[in-house]
Amino acid sequence: MTQVDARAGDSLVFEADRERLLGLAYRMVGSFSEAEDIVQETYLRFHQQPRQSIQNPSAWLTTVATRACLDHLRLAYRAREQYSGDWLPEPVSLHNEPEQDQALAQSLSMAFLHLMEQLNPRERAVFILRQAFDWPYRSIANTLGVSEPACRQLFRRGQDKLGGREVECHLPCADMSLLREFMATCTSGDFAALTNRLARDVTVYSDSNGRVGALRHAITGVDRVAHFLFRLVRRGHDGQRIELATLNGEPGLVVHERGHPVTALVFSFRQGKLWRLYSVRNPDKLRGLSR
């Protein structure tokens, strides 16, 4: 086999796993652009590895990508300790059909990814591989280089930290008609009608890292959130272009100014009522929406 043939073979093997690796890396690090970098790094290492040393390419690629994510998270978590305000995942626009597997779709939601920030890197890796990808503990242990009992303990420790709140990470529902009806209520000025569309534990999170105006802390409660939404609607101006988008499997709005996205809003509904609103204004996290 020539060197050109070998490279072509490497590419075919890798491309068969690219989307899966990208989905894993995004769930691990919460940034699509950084996930792409990790997947590219994984490919380069695969290309440099002697082929006879890899018996199972798919398992090898998953192990390398997961460990690269862990290295990235250890550095990222230190930086996030100095982050200004809430840290939210980078929103991703889904142009294809949402994933059919319920666990995978659920783990793509902003609620799930936001919740994962409470876990350390290894707990997060175990939780995602087990909860979202349904991996057996033995495979996860081999990937992380730990014993199977240690892997089970990491999962239990993650569950304890979340305090059962993983139940909040419900299956995303990209119901645009629900969002249109909700926004019509927001613009109506009817305060009572708006509060009736809010869940009792409704919460708004905002992320700008202090670079542009945004909430410094999450706000919760029906009345406070209703007032916030009315102010948000009034702040709009003629220079803005607003488009509907499916963001992380849920209905969203992307606000553009001068041709660039300046805000991404992800709406999470439960039983027809707004449960969580995620407002991402950090310019670094909106670059992917410009593509």
User: What's the pLDDT tens digit per position in 227-263?
Assistant: 999 988 887 666 788 999 999 989 999 999 988 999 9
CATH number of 1-82: 1.10.1740
Residues 186, 194 contacting (CB under 8 angstroms)? yes
Euclidean distance between CA atoms 115 and 18, whole angstroms:
26
Q: Is 77 helix (H, G, I), strand (E, B) or coil?
A: helix
Q: Which fold has domain 176-290?
A: Nuclear Transport Factor 2; Chain: A, (3.10.450)
Beta strand ranges found along 16-55 (DSSP E): none
Q: What pLDDT shows up at residue 7? A: 56
**Domain range annotation of the chain:** 1-82, 99-170, 176-290
pLDDT: is 168 or 132 the higher one?
132
Q: Is the pLDDT of residue 97 over 50?
A: no
Q: What pLDDT shows up at residue 96? A: 47
The pTM (predicted TM-score) of the whole model is 0.87
Euclidean distance between CA atoms 240 and 235, whole angstroms:
10
78's CB contacts (< 8 A; 6+ apart) are: none
Of 3.40.50.880, 3.40.50.2300, 2.40.50.1020, 1.10.10.10, which CATH number belongs to 99-170? 1.10.10.10
Name the average pLDDT for the chain.
Answer: 87
